[in-house]
Amino acid sequence: MERIYFDNAATTSLEPAVLEAMLPYMTEKFGNPSSIYSYGRESRLGIENARKSVAKALNAHPGEIFFTSGGTESSNTAINAAVKDLGCKHIISSPIEHHATLHTVEYLHHHDGIGLSFVKILPSGHIDLAHLRELLEAAGERCLVTLMHANNEIGNLLDIHAVGNLCKEFDAIFHSDTVQTVGHYPFDLRNTPIHFITGAGHKFHGPKGVGILYINENVKISPFIQGGSQERNMRAGTENLYGIIGFAKALELATAHHTEHSEYINGLRMYMAAQLQQHIPDVTFNGDLHGSSLYTVLNVAFPKSEKTEMILFNLDINGICASGGSACTSGANAGSHVIRAFNNNPNQIAVRFSFSKNNTKEEVDSVVEKLKELM
């Protein structure tokens, strides 16, 4: 059976050109980057060239880019540093964040007594910016605001400039989980009022197990992981050499082809939305489909029935990969905390379809035909 992969917000396939760039560092260029002999210097040069490449793509300074194991480590580092190093006594987040953020802020609240507030979510799934201002005004102490740039389940985009300027007004630290947008969205970090962003290579056809943390050059924090002087004393542990090379190459390619790929992928997304509306009775969409949303994600609300309760299982046995929410919890039948936050309709079943440049219109047609059979 030929599989149709519509879960690209969970992970993407590795681009052949990325693998090609990585292979030398998995074979002959295997030196430890901390070693002073030629093998080590060669590896160190590869890492520093990758850092420059990533910084260029994000319009940041190379000294602001730190390589990590992925988005979860990056967000944990930023959130903990804001509390322990930057004097934040209160955290403002949202109920629709990825668990890498939610579990971290809840831990700090329960174990360290840090204040915690959640900004309201509008019926569209967007953050209520007026309520965010109210929370900042009422806090009475320095805040960390941690809000994701694009939601991984519904695709809604945050206006990071508006939030950043609001944080600047109240001397708050601003961290944004940008895992879904690095590699999919043009960043200009030199002109963005933000302290921390995150990225993960496997979201844009790079390797798994490697990510970045951007730390604004005006921010000074202590390392989250202790034990060595790697990453300019900021992240101990021998570097994931070939992963870092792959991350940089994948981001370089994603940046170079952003316009054509984003237009193509958004075309697939909107085509599928139109086909579903035409062929599936009472289907609706979660999130701001026609407004400010990421072009890769389509979250579909099917009317609940005996058939649709088994929809993900039935899609899977027909070779179609989709998600019931965040892939990090797709094996658990607990429903989506994101959908519950703004659409607590017990008569709907949410399915996330997410697309890449490798998907086709024919695949969309096949999935819609199969859904017509399964409804």
- Please write the tens of the pLDDT for every residue from 23-81: 999 999 999 999 999 999 999 999 999 999 999 999 999 999 999 999 999 999 999 99
Number of domains in the chain: 2
Q: Are residues 215 and 189 in the same domain?
A: yes
| CATH, residue 346 | 3.90.1150.10
Segments in the chain below pLDDT 50: 326-327, 329-333
Taking every pair of C-alpha atoms in the chain, what is the biggest distance, in angstroms?
A: 67
Same-domain status, 266 and 321: yes
* Dihedral Cα 172, 199, 149, 156, nearest 10 deg: -160
Computed from CA positions of residues 23, 26, 28, 33, in that sequence, does the dihedral angle turn out positive or negative? positive
User: What is the enclosing helix (H) or strand (E) of 145?
Assistant: strand 143-146
| Residues 33, 43 contacting (CB under 8 angstroms) | yes
> Does residue 328 have an active-site annotation?
yes
The CATH number assigned to the domain holding 228 equals 3.40.640.10
- Predicted local confidence at residue 325, as pLDDT: 56
Query: Among 219, 237, 256, where does a domain finish?
Result: 256
- Name the one residue in this structure whose structure tokens are 């944990």: 76
Based on the domain organization, do 80 and 145 belong to the same domain? yes
For residue 231, what pLDDT is reported?
95
What one-character DSSP code corresponds to residue 293? B
Catalytic residue among 88, 167, 321, 328: 328
Residues 333 and 281 in one domain: yes
Q: Which domain holds residue 141?
A: 16-256
- Same domain flag for 81 and 230: yes
CA distance 237 to 227: 7
CA distance 367 to 334: 25
- pLDDT on residue 334: 57
216's torsion region: left (phi>0), alpha (psi -120 to 50) or beta? beta
Domain boundary among 210, 226, 256: 256
Give the distance from CA 183 to its chain's centroid.
10
